[in-house]
Amino acid sequence: MREFPDRVLLVDDEKDFCAVLSHLMTREGVESLMAHDGETALKIVRLREPDLLILDVIMPGINGMEVLRRVKEVDGNLPVIMITGHAGIHEAVEAIRAGAYDYLVKPFDPLELMKVVRQALAGRALNRKNFNLSIQPQDTTHPLRQLMGPSDAVSRLISDVERVGKSSFAVIILGETGTGKELVARAIHTTSTRRNAPFVPVDCGAIPETLLESELFGFEKGAFTGAEVRKSGKFEAAHGGTLFLDEISNMPLSSQARLLRVLQEKTIYRLGGNKPLAIDVRLLVASNRNLEAAAASGSLRRDLFYRLNEFRIEIPPLRDREEDILYLSKRFLDSTNKELRKDVKGFSDSALGTLVTYEWPGNVRQLQSTIRRAVLLADEVVKKENLDVKDASNPVSDPTDALEVQALPNVLSLKEIVRKRTITIEREVLTQVLSKTGGNKAKAARLLQIDYKTIHSKVREYGITINKEYNRGGRDHG
């Protein structure tokens, strides 16, 4: 789990409001410092070197905008989130131009604030570690290193590919859409003794059911209306080599039965033909679904699943491979610079924070299209606003919904009011996310970007029940 850097400096002349923010930071594992005027804030910036500034615009003495300008003279990379009780487009634009990371208007949603804080701190952490975006994979001889990145996850993929490549095993490759399942399949083929023979990919989800069998097995002249000449299928095209069936779970059951017979007998019949044709093909299949669950539900034949499941490779999603996100972002930036004849130098801290905290539901394909568009829009460096991504991980569809609690008594302090609202929001969010993950606390912690111990203690503290319905068909992590 990604760690937060050390400190956030909270600057606001309202002491109770600073205390509320400090309480919120502490709950997220972030150390906070407080200042109630601009002069004190500047001294703390010089002496304590915070990783993030949350700064009120209107304060007595030196106002927030002047503090922002002076802070940028001391540390130009320090992210500063400006906050104000007086909304204004002109002020927001001025703050961003002066170097502010973001601009929030009171009262703001604590969830929205923490999302911005996480992104800002992630970018700052990368800058402090002086992460080299030009990092090159250690083993430049393996294509998966160049195409997928230098992470330990890719190292394990390479190990699996080399282990199974020289065998004749059928292989199931699992992974979300856009993770690179065909790249892994091609790497297996290249590693095998069949490397000089054809590699033939077939997307089972892109071919209509009525045409799939003729595509796979071919057909004789006159086999059906429109079959004016004999045509060989993909099995014949892959003879001696490798046939890769992508999205195998989309194959109709009737075609699955015929595929199983082909694998068992190593012969095919063209549609409309009665002459058996011997074939020598190694089969690799891929899916973005759990094929074991598909076999249990009946959408995939159990006997076919058992025949295919000789070896299994699982590709982790891009969101779990921070090192690869950074490597691929730089790679896509370089290639787009060349394509567009531009010279965009790299990424701002805010852009880096967004890249490594975003969920990337479309994985590498989405990252590539996002970086290409960002380079088109960028001038010297890619900034956060150039990245056209929406926060897919926020489980609350409308942030204001979470704040609609009953009116609280006037005798409560601001700190106590916000504490009660925070508890209400946290409980609601945790309940929604745990429902979404089937009660899997480890997955919920990843979605919410908090560590496992925190989510475990909050579930216990708020009395959230992980009921049987949550756990149906899954395993409760914790």
Return the closest-CA partner of residue 122 out of 326, 428, 381: 326
Looking at the predicted structure, is the pLDDT value of residue 391 above 80?
no
The mean pLDDT of the chain is 83
Q: What is the pLDDT of residues 184-232, one digit of tens each?
A: 999 999 999 999 999 999 999 888 887 898 999 999 888 788 878 888 8
Q: What is the pTM of this model?
A: 0.61
N-terminal to C-terminal alpha carbon distance within the chain? 16
**pLDDT in the model for residue 257:** 93
Separation of CA 177 from chain center: 11
Q: Rounded to whole angstroms, how far apart are CA atoms 271 and 269?
A: 6
**pLDDT in the model for residue 103:** 85
Handedness of CA 282, 288, 293, 294 (dihedral sign): negative
Q: What is the pLDDT of residues 169-194, one digit of tens each?
A: 999 999 999 999 999 999 999 999 99
**pLDDT in the model for residue 478:** 44
**Residue-by-residue DSSP string for 68-107:** HHHHHHH-TT--EEEEESS--HHHHHHHHHTT-SEEEESS
Decide which of 3.40.50.1440, 3.30.420.40, 3.30.300.30, 3.40.50.300 is the CATH code for 152-314: 3.40.50.300
pLDDT band at 43 (very low <50, low <70, confident <90, very high): confident
Provide the 3-class DSSP secondary structure of residue 30: coil
**pLDDT in the model for residue 352:** 87
User: Amino acid identity, residue 235?
Assistant: F
Return the closest-CA partner of residue 98 out of 76, 68, 62: 68
Q: Rounded to whole angstroms, how far apart are CA atoms 107 and 122?
A: 25
**pLDDT in the model for residue 456:** 77
Place of tokens 């927001």: 92
Lowest pLDDT segment from 141-145, 310-314, 392-396? 392-396
**pLDDT in the model for residue 223:** 79
**pLDDT in the model for residue 197:** 95
Looking at the predicted structure, is the pLDDT value of residue 161 above 80?
yes
The CA R_g of the chain, rounded to the nearest whole Å, is: 28
Kindly report the number of other CB atoms within 10 A of residue 380's CB atom: 10
What kind of fold does domain 7-128 have according to CATH?
Rossmann fold (3.40.50)
**pLDDT in the model for residue 274:** 87
Decide which of 1.10.3720, 3.30.870, 3.30.70, 1.10.10 is the CATH code for 399-471: 1.10.10
Lowest pLDDT segment from 356-365, 391-400, 433-442? 391-400
What percent of the chain has pLDDT above 90? 41
Counting every residue written for the chain, the total comes to 478
Cβ(212)–Cβ(204) below 8 Å: yes
Q: Could you list the beta-strand ranges (E) of 247-377.
A: 267-268, 277-278, 282-287, 311-314
Kindly report the number of other CB atoms within 10 A of residue 387's CB atom: 20
Cβ(389)–Cβ(354) below 8 Å: yes
For the chain, domain boundaries? 7-128, 152-314, 399-471
Q: What is the pLDDT of residues 369-383, one digit of tens each?
A: 999 999 999 988 998
**pLDDT in the model for residue 474:** 43
**pLDDT in the model for residue 471:** 46
**pLDDT in the model for residue 418:** 62
Q: What is the pLDDT of residues 234-288, one digit of tens each?
A: 999 999 999 999 999 999 999 999 999 999 999 999 888 889 999 999 999 999 9
Return the closest-CA partner of residue 367 out of 340, 338, 331: 331
Q: Rounded to whole angstroms, how far apart are CA atoms 422 and 98?
A: 32
Provide the 3-class DSSP secondary structure of residue 15: helix
**pLDDT in the model for residue 333:** 94
- Phi-psi label, residue 449: left if phi above 0, alpha if psi -120 to 50, beta otherwise: left
Place of tokens 């095209």: 237
**pLDDT in the model for residue 397:** 37
**pLDDT in the model for residue 122:** 83
Identical fold at 7-128 and 152-314?
Answer: yes
Residue of 88 and 463 predicted with greater confidence: 463
Q: What is the pLDDT of residues 98-115, one digit of tens each?
A: 888 888 888 888 888 888
Strands 267-268 and 277-278: antiparallel
**pLDDT in the model for residue 364:** 95
Residue of 120 and 467 predicted with greater confidence: 120
Q: What is the pLDDT of residues 1-42, one digit of tens each?
A: 344 446 899 999 888 888 888 888 888 888 889 999 988 898
Looking at the predicted structure, is the pLDDT value of residue 422 above 80?
no
Q: Rounded to whole angstroms, how far apart are CA atoms 123 and 79?
A: 9
Place of tokens 């979605």: 447
Q: Rounded to whole angstroms, how far apart are CA atoms 41 and 22?
A: 15
Cα-Cα-Cα-Cα torsion 203, 205, 211, 212, nearest 10 degrees, comes to 60
